[in-house]
Structure 1
Amino acid sequence: MQLNFKEIFTAFMVLFAVIDIIGNIPIVIDLRKKAGHIQSEKASIIAGVILIVFLFLGKSILNLIGIDVNSFAVAGAFILFFIALEMILGITLYKEEEHNAMTATVFPLAFPLIAGPGSLTTLLSLRAEFSTENIIVAVILNVIIIFIVLKTSAKIERILGANGINIIRKVFGVVLLAIAVKLFTHNIKALFDIV
């Protein structure tokens, strides 16, 4: 097993930007209010398992249902785009569902918020460039940070206050929108090259 710290760091930073757990703090706080409680350990572990399983089986699963990686990425870009619009404009596009602690922990927190189309697509593109063990280490490091952020989100909310959270939400909304546009343009180009 050959660990390369440059690869680990790069993969970690790319995943960290796409997962954007800091930018998702306002969403985590909203979920906590709606559900009453979020199981941070369970959400982090489930998200980590989804990411690692997808790293190994992602391409095969997509091939099995007849979807290529680029189409999956374009779909992911749309979801990220709408989440970003919600964050920037302060509107709700998704139907409000009744959340209890268990469902909120798994959906939408572990999936698709943490292990969403953006991060799953990113894993597939990282796999083309980096060795698998380095990506796994990067995923584990991200899961540890996700756990810390989820565990301390109430404290972070107190420190930043409502205005601070709103500013972060809008700033990260714009970042997420940029990631969505980049994901869309890169993959739509690849789709047209295939056609």
Structure 2
Amino acid sequence: IVDTPGHADFGGEVERVLGMVDGVVLLVDAAEGPMPQTKFVLGKALKLGLRPILVVNKIDRGDARPDEVVNEAFDLFDMLGATEEQLDFPIMYAVGRDGWVDEDYTNHGDTVLPLLDLVLKHVPEARQRLVLRRELLIAYVVLLLFLVLGPHILEFLQVSQEAIRIGGGIVLFLIALKMIFPKEDGLLGKTPDGEPFIVPLAIPLMAGPSSLAMIMLMRKSAEGQWLELWLAVTAAWLVSAVILLASRRLYSLLGEKGLIAIERLMGMVLIIMAVQMLLEGTAQYLHLR
């Protein structure tokens, strides 16, 4: 994320920075509208073929005029020779001081995640796939590191298997609960009318606390079975990687409602697994098994 200077004196720096990025967020004041420096920076971005996202900030000002500002921004795009694709820019409204962004300025949210969601979807597909491959490889390395070093980590932290099972079960339960009963505009959650977050962050979802806890438990209970453990971790990673890399096709095939239904179903499966982890951890701690 790069914050570009708006003044014309920094034209060279702006051009170099814009040549490095994959997308642009154009921030405009809800009362003042596009400024002279807005025209300068936007013109550079449009010439490079970037597709800006318009964010109208400070809509809580008493003299805010968000609808007029959006029209002024559209006129500026048109005057600068924007293509039809660039003219079809997404619009978000924000109060940066309060830390929220929403596509409807009458809804005062409590998070900037809708903007993150939009930025990720707005980035060119080729770049998305490149970033996703990198994240998948990092997640795989993290999983293998915990597979090899898991027992040593537990020993160093003086953490028992029971604590790992119970802690991992609680985290997995909370994740699954969000999948079944999502919070509107959350990172994992979707409302029935909302759009699923189709390309999630690979590292926290594939190499999160529950996954790492499960790997350390597998390593502890299957001491010496390196080939079987590696095959199990690799197979699970490959399945997840294929699903993530094919996410756009899955979205086209299943549609919004289909993906949401599958997410609810997987949430139920994860809750069952979480309860099982909790029961086993509690039973071991109480010496019931």
Q: Distance in 1 between matches of 2:135 and 2:203?
A: 5
**C-alpha displacement of 1:35:** 4.7
Aligned counterparts, 1:41-56, within 5 A: 41-56=133-148
**C-alpha displacement of 1:189:** 1.4
| Counterpart in the other structure of 2:275 | 181
Kindly indicate whether the alpha-carbon contact (under 8 Å) linking 1:44 and 1:147 is maintained by their aligned counterparts in 2: yes
| Counterpart in the other structure of 1:13 | none
| Counterpart in the other structure of 2:206 | 114
Q: Distance in 1 between matches of 2:179 and 2:209?
A: 18
Kindly indicate whether the alpha-carbon contact (under 8 Å) linking 1:74 and 1:184 is maintained by their aligned counterparts in 2: yes
**C-alpha displacement of 1:87:** 0.8
Amino acid at match of 1:191: Y
| Counterpart in the other structure of 2:216 | 124
| Counterpart in the other structure of 1:63 | 155
The two structures, once aligned, show a CA RMSD in angstroms of 3.0
Q: Distance in 1 between matches of 2:115 and 2:172?
A: 18
Q: Give unpaired runs (5+ residues) of structure 1.
A: 1-29, 97-104
Q: Distance in 2 between matches of 1:88 and 1:185?
A: 21
**C-alpha displacement of 1:126:** 2.8
- Return the match for 1:136 from 227, 230, 239: 230
Q: Give unpaired runs (5+ residues) of structure 2.
A: 1-113, 189-198
Moved more, 32-41 or 60-69: 32-41
Structure with max Cα Rg: 2
- Counterpart secondary structure, 1:193: coil
Amino acid at match of 1:157: Y
**C-alpha displacement of 1:133:** 1.6
Residues matched between the structures, number: 155
Q: Distance in 2 between matches of 1:126 and 1:75?
A: 15
| Counterpart in the other structure of 1:145 | 239
Aligned counterparts, 1:1-195, within 5 A: 33-36=117-120, 38=128, 39-91=131-183, 109-111=202-204, 113-127=205-219, 128-129=221-222, 131-193=225-287
Amino acid at match of 1:58: G
Q: Distance in 2 between matches of 1:92 and 1:193?
A: 42
The structure with the greater share of residues assigned to helix is 1
**C-alpha displacement of 1:179:** 0.6
**C-alpha displacement of 1:146:** 2.4
Q: Distance in 2 between matches of 1:31 and 1:186?
A: 41
For normalisation by structure 1, the TM-score amounts to 0.68
**C-alpha displacement of 1:178:** 0.6
Q: Distance in 2 between matches of 1:174 and 1:188?
A: 21
Kindly indicate whether the alpha-carbon contact (under 8 Å) linking 1:55 and 1:124 is maintained by their aligned counterparts in 2: yes
The percentage of aligned residue pairs carrying the same residue is: 25
**C-alpha displacement of 1:164:** 0.4
Kindly indicate whether the alpha-carbon contact (under 8 Å) linking 1:40 and 1:151 is maintained by their aligned counterparts in 2: yes
| Counterpart in the other structure of 1:5 | none
Kindly indicate whether the alpha-carbon contact (under 8 Å) linking 2:165 and 2:280 is maintained by their aligned counterparts in 1: no
The 1:93–1:40 alpha-carbon spacing in structure 2 relative to 1, beyond 3 Å, is closer
**C-alpha displacement of 1:51:** 1.2
4+ residue segments displaced more than 4 Å:
92-96
For normalisation by structure 2, the TM-score amounts to 0.48
The 1:123–1:77 alpha-carbon spacing in structure 2 relative to 1, beyond 3 Å, is same
